[in-house]
Structure 1
Amino acid sequence: MSSEDFDAPGAPGIRPTWASSAKDMVTTALGGSRLWATLGHGILNEVYWPSTGRPQIRDLGFVVAGKAGWHEVKRVQHYRISTPEAFVPLPSVVHQGDGYRLELEFLAHPLRDVLLIRYKLDGEGFKLYTLLAPHLNGEPINSAFAGEDLWARQGETALCLRNNSGLSCTSAGYVGVSDGWQDFDTNGAMTWTYPRAADGNVALTGELAAGSGTLALGFAKTVAGARTLARSSLADDYDDVRSIFIGQWESWGETLTLPYLSPELHRAAGISASVIKIHEDRTFAGAVVASLSVPWGSSHDDPGGYHLVWTRDTVEAALAMIAVGQVDDAARTLAYLIGTQAEDGSWAQNYFPDGTGYWSGRQLDEVALPIILMAKLKALGRLTNSAPVEEMVRKAAGFIVRNGPMSDQDRWEENAGASPFTLAVTVCALVAAADFFEEDERTYILSLADCWNERIEDWTYCPGGTLCAATGVDGYYVRLSPKPADGGIRGAVTVRNVAQGAIAATDLVGMDFLYLVRTGLRSPNDHRILNTVRVVDEMLRVETPSGPSFHRYNGDGYGEHADGSAFDGTGIGRLWPLLTGERGHYAAAAGQQVDPYLEAMVHMSGQGGLMPEQVWDTDAIPRLGLEPGKPSGSAMPLVWAHAEFLKLLATQATGRPAELLDEVERRYRGHPPEARQWHWRKSSPFMQMPAGRHLHFEAAEPFVLHYSLDGWRQTVDQASRETCFGLHAVALTAETLAGCESIAFTFYYPRRDSWEGRDFVVERTPDEAGSTSTGAGVPASIAVPHA
């Protein structure tokens, strides 16, 4: 009996994985279809349907077999890839091997949920076979069936692969045991014709009846639906479908506004804009996932990967689209973010395009950035103060007020505390949100923004730190300082992706401080900024064959191990092209050359022009495809990297960073303010404050402030009043504090009938400016607004 009489052996197969994250290209149509495809190693990788958050296959590859042997083209790795234009993602791939030439074109159908693959094999005596690995709904357990076409199902999702010239023979099997690759490896030819492989990690194999033709891979809720879509697409005229696809992308490309560029940079700009456009969902318009890839995907089966929405990455992408004239895209993103905001005003750490949360952290920058996007759209005249917009801003600002300035996670999603990046965007968001509130609330928000802005250096700048001697400076901004309860800037940071654990906060630097310049809070010539630029250039910068790039921070472990093996929870942090862009933004602000950074980002791209999350930073490991200055096994493309590139191009042309808001620039002009009022909270306490300032005590519940201005010889009890944003406060004016050198205090909480259990002291130091002026735009009167 032949194998076609038996189900495939070897259930359930080996542990599933995704494809390599090193993509050549990503593509989608701009019509009504809901399908996104990725290419890597010259073949089809993950296909996403019906949204960008749902990968449906691992890969679809090809075997070329002849009398002298067989070749799996993705392993031969001798191919080139091209597109009609930089911003038209219609990839053509030519594989060249020993005696054969295989041409492939991957066309996302504009009107149907189908991917078409046109193929042509040249070479005497060769036949072509396709290998398809379903991974429907991102689930490891699928069922596969082989007949006149190939199909698979998992729950209410199905696919069908059909060839317009037919399949000579087909087989279904279990990966690693009875799949097509194992058949060729064992028998040197396709000899197995199993009709079914149920409930496992499955694969499908088909021999293509002719050397040229068109494959159609369709997706639907049912097998019948997927088959109908595949057959209908093959009935369409391929050249007509192709013309529609190209025409839609060319029409879109005509709306791009790119500055005058060299041919190399112009091509990279077109690719970058199209990459961001491709990553926008259509089922959930405005959702932009971080990457249509799974970092180090070929080593594990992560159900999340990077095909998730991070509010931070999404806003970065929207700001980049504004920079190249795609304001409508950014407006859709803002509307989408309004739809995914939580009732408390925050956004989930990351989430699927439908809004379902994945990780559960809270990051203050991800609450602030949508307000900045709103402000940019408002400044362009593309936003009216509609009820949904106003509600979003008020809820987000309220969350920031109640929970800031310390964040539960920094932008690298690793640590709690005060990050210069998070502080920068948070202060800017408060300034931008102020006009959405009545006078008392607006005054309070601006007062809080000024106080936090003035205190940025208290939290994150380290004079005389341990890194000074090695870099020749007298101080620097740290990567992050822990929350005050954990020691603040003198505490330790737990580096979660390395084995050694805690590192002194003063021993860690990162690029985060550069956003203080980009957002207009500090001058590029500020002594502290100049110091830290010198430190990061010496400690984090690496000159690669592609140009300069930077580590996230010293001691980072998010990257491959020394031997090139995949990150598995620990590793060695590699270089990030987006940080090359961030350093380029500082160069632009400081009047330095920007081209070296732009060109480096381009040269760090993959064969198809995609920019990776990380590039390799040490000696080449050819067997793993790791070369210095070239993509590592991390995510590729990274939408944030492409966004950073586009924004840097625009900054070079206009002299203004995309994140800079007019109201912030007018208020601070690159310098810390002299805040009229300082806000004391247990989450952000201080032990010193300049004389001549009002002192505002705040808590989330009613309290009695028990205090003394003369070392506890005389005491005063003052009950708090409920203010806006659900806070309770006691305000002491500068006049009340005049003449005292310090204030000692503690708290009693009536609802709990409980004392704080410790005393606090704030010393009043002479105002270095010799003035008690209100600072930048702060009214002279103290504000304790009622709810």
Structure 2
Amino acid sequence: MHPPCGKAPVAETRKAVWSSARKEMVGTALGASRVWFTLARGIVSEVYYPRIDIPQLRELDFVVADGVDFWVALKGQDAYSVERLEDDLPLAMLVHRHPRFELRLRVCVDPHRDVLLLEVTLDGDETLRPYALLAARLGGDAEGNLAATGEWDGRRTLWADQGPFALALQCCDVEGRPALDARSVGEVGASDLREDFARHGAMRWHYAEAGPGEVALGARLPRRCTLAVGFAGSREAADTLAWSTLALGFESVWDAYADGWRHWREVCACPRLPRLDAAVAGLFRRSLNVLKIHEDRTYPGALVASLAVPWGEANESRGGYHLVWSRDLVESAGALVALGAYDTARDVLAYLHATQQADGHWLQNQWLGGKPFWQGIQLDETAFPVLLAGLLAAHGELGAIPVTGMVELALRFILAEGPCTGQDRWEEDPGINTFTLAIAIGALVEGAQFLHGRAAELALMVADYWNANIESWCWAQDTALAREAGVSGYYLRAAPVHVLMCEGAKAEHLFIKNRAHDYDRPADEQISTDFLQLVRYGLRDAHDPCVVSSLKVVDRLLRHDTPHGPVWHRYNGDGYGEHPDGTPFDGTGRGRGWPLLIGERGHYALLAGEDVGPYLRSMAAMTGRGGLLPEQVWDAAPIPEHDLEPGAPTGAAMPLVWAHSEFVKLCLSLEQGRPVDAPPRTWARYGGQRPTLDYVLWRFRQRPRTLRQGQELRVLLRAPATVHWGVDGWQDVRDTPTEDWALGHLACLPTGRLAVGSRIDFTFRWSADGQWQGEDFAVEVIAQ
């Protein structure tokens, strides 16, 4: 026995990265506990506490060694399996096999305490012992952690703390006795237990203190034992929690953990589901759990995008996907509503109600408490919460949540900024994007039910106008791309902002993010799958010629066939993914296939009267070792050294909660014969048909240059004004004051009787200060 003493050597400056993003399981207890765990590469990877957006450790690995010169670290070994122990519930056992041993790990969380619990069983060569290696990352920070060995009420312990966070690592044997044997703490990469084994082939260091820095805890364990990691605000409190859980016994805690998940399975029972293949049904059940696991306790209704940091082993960013995006959140809430989990869906809406910004929009993404992370403006993220309010209302499950003020603020922002968005849903291009436009139109229609009088009328008026103009803004024809595909045209990935102001803007070059070279190309040479949302939301029919033509181009450019079925890229030229040689995305790369898009294509297939089964089976086949859906799958030749196989997960985030919610919705949509998250009032209003209008809407951000004979010119402004206007060089001059329509100020000019070729000239005088706009505008009357 070597008692710990002295301080561990300090590490040289190193890149403090995260764990693999290819999670094999994620878990949490459904109770008072505030701990979430992930498994990746056969070990425990990031663990979060006391909120789902705060990681507290990077990984908990194990070494099996004989104490002389043989040792094997579990991380990096491929001879292991992830076994789900009951009907796809998050009840995990990791089984590592080696010619000299078999090590089994069962992992769970105490439902009543902030404690992660592991049962460790080592069989085989009797000379071998397991060792635990815990890399702390308290508060998500690798710089200021302190670690120490110690004694607490006569029991040996391992501690780490930083600021308001602390953890304690404890162990008991099968008799319930304290069982941490040899102990040491160190700095990762310099004096931790892994470095000790790498240098000496056995545990030789026994340091009592380490840090501040990126610290690790290490200890020798019995061959059969229970390991507890307690989390609290102090070392002593964490240790007390760990020992309280150990005192209950592993089986007792495991059963309580399992019971919580059995109850959730009953809440989400869906007896009306059609017969599904076994693999599809299994993924459906796992997806229900993934949705629930990613919800926070402190902020009910806040679901993060994923408990993963994309390409984590090469990524040192503090912000992974353990953040809230309102888009991902509402996409997930749509599945919850369809499942009948109305309480959770209402919690989502209440959380969104609380985090709306003063001007009506929602942040690009945020920490759970509402602090912004990235700063982009995405119009769909302002529209989605309105759609959730409408969906809950359609089910009669809105409850007492007062949404009128929230909806009015959101629609004001949409009217002020739309139809353009600062970023599309992929957080890249500005312009007019068909997905974003569909969401915004849906929000205007669904949100109108919560407004009164002219406010509701104006929301519907703008929705109709935007819907009627989708093709005039977003359609490209007679391009080289169209000729190569043998079609007349296609919907653009993003129409430049200037398309609202001048002719010829569709050829304007748009920047392509995440590409080291060839990082821009003309807008009319870029295509995406985003237009499918027009069909899903009832704005266009599945057999509309423009939709069918665009689909041909998408399948030619963006579809890739894999051994598990076809998968689609987001858009041509995408740079978000591994490099061609398989090395991780590092700010540039090459985009890969997204299983999420298979689900979207499946929803289109449903509306087109096609078989949905192949899409469900493809998604189920593209899961990882633990049965979770990834953000991306590899779609090129195998690269074994980077563990990349066609149709299998890449190093991007897994699971992607949005992908799981899309899969759940596709299963339920198949049963109902329609998309379960489709906005009902929008479908009823348009039924897949482009509206025909007797007016043209002019705004500063949206300046039509023509109107058809018989149409009325409507001028929509954000402040009261008088429209000063005349015809054909300021003849027959008139003044028409705007009227207050709650969401804007509207002037309707009686232009319906003007002849073809007439020109309407106009400007404004602002009511607030009597100042003239100082600029003239014109609209020409053209034939029907």
Q: 2:132 aligns with which of 123, 130, 133?
A: 130
Could you say which residue in structure 1 is the equivalent of 2:645? 627
- What TM-score does the superposition give when structure 1 sets the normalisation length? 0.94
Output the CA distance in 1 between the equivalents of 2:743 and 2:690: 28
1:726: how far off? 6.0
Does 1:178 pair with 2:195? no
- What TM-score does the superposition give when structure 2 sets the normalisation length? 0.94
Output the CA distance in 1 between the equivalents of 2:434 and 2:46: 37
Output the CA distance in 2 between the equivalents of 1:212 and 1:727: 70
Could you say which residue in structure 2 is the equivalent of 1:780? none
Output the CA distance in 1 between the equivalents of 2:16 and 2:383: 38
Question: Which one-letter code corresponds to 1:595 in the other structure?
Answer: G
Could you say which residue in structure 2 is the equivalent of 1:167? 180
Could you say which residue in structure 2 is the equivalent of 1:516? 534
Does 1:677 pair with 2:691? no
Conservation of the 8 A alpha-carbon contact between 1:46 and 1:58: yes
| SS across alignment from 2:553 | helix
| SS across alignment from 1:597 | helix
| SS across alignment from 2:212 | strand
Could you say which residue in structure 2 is the equivalent of 1:777? none
Pair 376,87 (structure 1): closer, same or farther in 2 beyond 3 Å = farther
Does 1:648 pair with 2:666? yes
Q: 1:613 aligns with which of 631, 651, 663?
A: 631
Output the CA distance in 1 between the equivalents of 2:99 and 2:769: 81
Output the CA distance in 1 between the equivalents of 2:190 and 2:651: 26
Question: Which one-letter code corresponds to 2:598 in the other structure?
Answer: T
1:622: how far off? 0.8
| SS across alignment from 1:447 | helix
Give the alignment of 1:67-82 within 5 angstroms: 69-82=70-83
| SS across alignment from 1:163 | strand
Could you say which residue in structure 1 is the equivalent of 2:354? 339
Output the CA distance in 1 between the equivalents of 2:310 and 2:527: 25
Could you say which residue in structure 2 is the equivalent of 1:460? 474
1:178-219 CA distance string (max 9 Å, x none): 1111111110111011111121111111111x1011000111
| SS across alignment from 1:294 | coil
1:724-756 CA distance string (max 9 Å, x none): 446344321244646653323445668788766
Could you say which residue in structure 2 is the equivalent of 1:191? 204
Question: Which one-letter code corresponds to 1:665 in the other structure?
Answer: W
Question: Which one-letter code corresponds to 2:118 in the other structure?
Answer: I
Give the alignment of 1:277-316 within 5 angstroms: 277-316=292-331
Conservation of the 8 A alpha-carbon contact between 1:12 and 1:199: no
1:426: how far off? 0.8
Q: 2:617 aligns with which of 593, 599, 606?
A: 599
1:647: how far off? 0.8
Q: 1:402 aligns with which of 416, 427, 444?
A: 416
Conservation of the 8 A alpha-carbon contact between 1:402 and 1:725: no
Does 1:709 pair with 2:727? yes
| SS across alignment from 2:678 | coil
Conservation of the 8 A alpha-carbon contact between 1:615 and 1:628: yes
1:12-41 CA distance string (max 9 Å, x none): 652211101011000011111011100001
1:492: how far off? 2.0
Question: Which one-letter code corresponds to 2:707 in the other structure?
Answer: M
1:488: how far off? 4.4
| SS across alignment from 1:489 | helix
1:287-343 CA distance string (max 9 Å, x none): 010000101111122111100010000111011122233222212211111111122
| SS across alignment from 1:436 | coil
Q: 1:471 aligns with which of 485, 488, 502?
A: 485
Which shows bigger deviation, 355-364 or 744-753?
744-753
1:456-482 CA distance string (max 9 Å, x none): 111111122331111111010011112
| SS across alignment from 1:164 | strand
Output the CA distance in 2 between the equivalents of 1:602 and 1:592: 19
Output the CA distance in 2 between the equivalents of 1:448 and 1:498: 36
Question: Which one-letter code corresponds to 1:291 in the other structure?
Answer: S
Output the CA distance in 1 between the equivalents of 2:681 and 2:117: 50
Q: 1:494 aligns with which of 495, 511, 516?
A: 511
1:259-301 CA distance string (max 9 Å, x none): 1322211111000110011001111101010000101111122
Pair 754,396 (structure 1): closer, same or farther in 2 beyond 3 Å = same
Question: Which one-letter code corresponds to 1:346 in the other structure?
Answer: H
Which shows bigger deviation, 127-136 or 360-369?
360-369
Output the CA distance in 2 between the equivalents of 1:725 and 1:282: 38
Question: Which one-letter code corresponds to 2:600 in the other structure?
Answer: E
Output the CA distance in 2 between the equivalents of 1:103 and 1:680: 68
Output the CA distance in 2 between the equivalents of 1:218 and 1:716: 78
| SS across alignment from 2:76 | helix
Conservation of the 8 A alpha-carbon contact between 1:257 and 1:325: no
Could you say which residue in structure 2 is the equivalent of 1:360? 375
Conservation of the 8 A alpha-carbon contact between 2:196 and 2:202: yes
Does 1:156 pair with 2:164? yes
Which shows bigger deviation, 548-557 or 679-688?
679-688
Does 1:584 pair with 2:602? yes
Output the CA distance in 2 between the equivalents of 1:292 and 1:115: 16
Does 1:733 pair with 2:750? yes
Output the CA distance in 2 between the equivalents of 1:150 and 1:465: 66
| SS across alignment from 2:61 | strand
Conservation of the 8 A alpha-carbon contact between 1:38 and 1:44: yes
Conservation of the 8 A alpha-carbon contact between 2:12 and 2:190: no
Output the CA distance in 1 between the equivalents of 2:472 and 2:365: 30
Give the alignment of 1:525-544 within 5 angstroms: 525-544=543-562
Give the alignment of 1:423-442 within 5 angstroms: 423-442=437-456
Conservation of the 8 A alpha-carbon contact between 1:647 and 1:658: yes
Give the alignment of 1:19-58 within 5 angstroms: 19-58=19-58
1:599-629 CA distance string (max 9 Å, x none): 1111111011110101111111111111111
Question: Which one-letter code corresponds to 1:695 in the other structure?
Answer: L
How many residues of Structure 1 are paired with residues of Structure 2 in the alignment?
764
Output the CA distance in 2 between the equivalents of 1:226 and 1:488: 61
Could you say which residue in structure 2 is the equivalent of 1:92? 93
Question: Which one-letter code corresponds to 2:168 in the other structure?
Answer: C
Pair 146,309 (structure 1): closer, same or farther in 2 beyond 3 Å = same
Could you say which residue in structure 1 is the equivalent of 2:153? none
Conservation of the 8 A alpha-carbon contact between 2:302 and 2:329: yes
Output the CA distance in 1 between the equivalents of 2:704 and 2:578: 41
Output the CA distance in 2 between the equivalents of 1:706 and 1:227: 76
Question: Which one-letter code corresponds to 2:182 in the other structure?
Answer: C
Output the CA distance in 1 between the equivalents of 2:59 and 2:309: 13
Conservation of the 8 A alpha-carbon contact between 1:406 and 1:684: no
Could you say which residue in structure 1 is the equivalent of 2:14? 14
1:86: how far off? 3.8
Conservation of the 8 A alpha-carbon contact between 1:401 and 1:725: no
Output the CA distance in 2 between the equivalents of 1:560 and 1:317: 27
| SS across alignment from 1:24 | strand
Output the CA distance in 1 between the equivalents of 2:743 and 2:689: 31
Identity %: 43
Conservation of the 8 A alpha-carbon contact between 2:630 and 2:649: yes
Q: 2:398 aligns with which of 383, 387, 398?
A: 383
1:653-684 CA distance string (max 9 Å, x none): 21111232222122111011113332211212
Output the CA distance in 2 between the equivalents of 1:509 and 1:744: 37
Output the CA distance in 2 between the equivalents of 1:332 and 1:5: 50
Pair 481,28 (structure 1): closer, same or farther in 2 beyond 3 Å = same
Conservation of the 8 A alpha-carbon contact between 1:12 and 1:201: no
Output the CA distance in 1 between the equivalents of 2:401 and 2:616: 40
Structure 2 alignment gaps of length 5 or more: 151-155, 174-178
Conservation of the 8 A alpha-carbon contact between 2:595 and 2:633: yes
CA RMSD of aligned residues (A): 2.0
Could you say which residue in structure 2 is the equivalent of 1:782? none
